[in-house]
Structure 1
Amino acid sequence: MIDFCAIDFETATHERNSACEMGICVVENGVIVKTENWLIKPPSYPYFHPRNIDIHGITPRDVKDSPTFDEVWQEAEKLMYGNLMIAHNAVFDAGVLRSSLDHYGFFKPKLNYLCSISLAKKSWKDLPKYGLKSLAELHQIKFNHHRAGADAEVCAKISLLAFERLMLTRNEDVNSVMKNNLKVL
């Protein structure tokens, strides 16, 4: 069966290391088993760019007493250990993870990651849009968009639907069919 984790970040500024929220949804044997969400005090605290606040609604007040990325990374890494990582617009989320790890001096784990947009394009050809909200609407999945835990969980649900549509039932199948789309963190 398929095992992976879906991840999503919200950021305080345009800086990739400014994660203010991280969500991870864990899938084991093709079933969602857990979704974790952390509000994070970013290095830019207390500064948040107004445009970022407009997108996700997270303010400096919301993260005032929150841990920093380095304080939650060990717990998050345990959820991700050995898993394929999937994110919607993975270039962004992998960049935030990479920059946050660099900022705090952590080694990058050897993770393969896949963008759920490329997975969706392979599964449902010729859709007018492949954004997370559009795909969720197509599959009648309701969620609180631009909150990391909710976005990670919807990414996982859409990925599971895509795997089912492509008849992929094992990680080896995903690696074979999506090999040109897999990247390494």
Structure 2
Amino acid sequence: MDFCAIDFETATFDRHSACELGICVVQDSKIVETKTWLIKPPSFPYFSQRNIDVHGILPDDVKDAPTFEDIWYEVEEMMYGTLMIAHNASFDANVLRGCLDYYGMFTPKLNYLCSIQLAKKSWNYLPRYGLKHLAEYHQIKFNHHRAGDDAEVCAKISLLAFEKLFLTSNEEISEYMKAKIKKL
């Protein structure tokens, strides 16, 4: 199966304020690449202190970083033709849409799935389904709230969930998770 796991961190509460993006590419059920970009958001140099408290990214960290517009074509190429999975996918899909809209860019036809929904189907006995809790349950160590790490853990948890559900192809995922797969 092929998919990409994605995670955004934002500078403010505005959906177009991405300050970091991580993508983990999975081909033939194996992680083949994880890439992270720091991004200079439109609000630069302003960052909400509450957002900084979550991810620890400071305005100084992105002062020389590219904008979302500068990295989008590389990102789009990595995501092309695959299912996008994110933990709390509505947030990441809204940030992606917000960035594309802000820069007046075409929104690709992309299906996405929330790994929380996938985890709930796979481990319906767990008390919590946050990324940190799922990582602890599966003994996966990572730097939480950094986009590349979060995307890679999302991919690993998704692969474990697919294995538990005996899903071995994108077609099987589409059929089994049909009601949960959304369009960007």
Q: Please tell me the TM-score bracket, short chain as reference.
A: over 0.9
Residue type of the alignment partner of 2:119: A
SS at match of 1:175: helix
**Corresponding residue number in structure 1 for 2:143:** 144
Amino acid at match of 1:64: K
Q: How many residues align?
A: 184
Residue 81, structure 1, aligned to residue 80, structure 2: yes
Aligned to 1:13: 12
Question: Which residue type is aligned with residue 162 of structure 2?
Answer: F
Percent identity (aligned): 71
Distance 1:122 1:102 in 2: 33
Tell me the distance in 1 between the aligned counterparts of 2:35 and 2:107. Answer: 20
Structure 2: segments with no counterpart, 5+ residues = none
Q: What stretches of structure 1 of length at least 5 have no aligned partner?
A: none
Structure 1: 4+ residue segments shifted above 6 A = none
Give the partner amino acid of 2:158.
S
**Partner amino acid, structure 2, of 1:51:** R
Q: Secondary structure at the match of 1:143?
A: coil
TM-score (norm. length: structure 1): 0.99
1:103 Cα deviation from its structure 2 partner: 0.3
Q: Secondary structure in 1 aligned to 2:4? A: strand
| CA root-mean-square deviation | 0.3
Alignment of 1:86-97 (within 5 A): 86-97=85-96
What per-residue deviation string (whole Å, max 9, x for no partner) do you get for residues 96-141 of structure 1? 0000000001110100000000000000012110000000000000
Amino acid at match of 1:99: G
Classify the secondary structure of the residue corresponding to 1:20: strand
- 1:28 is matched by which residue type in structure 2? Q
Paired residues for 1:1-185 under 5 Å: 2-185=1-184
Question: What are the Cα deviations for residues 66-106 of structure 1, in whole angstroms up to 9, with x where unaligned?
Answer: 00000000000000000000000000000000000000011
Provide the rounded CA distance (Å) in 2 between the counterparts of 1:126 and 1:142: 22
The amino acid across from 2:90 in the alignment is V
Q: TM-score, normalised by structure 2?
A: 1.00
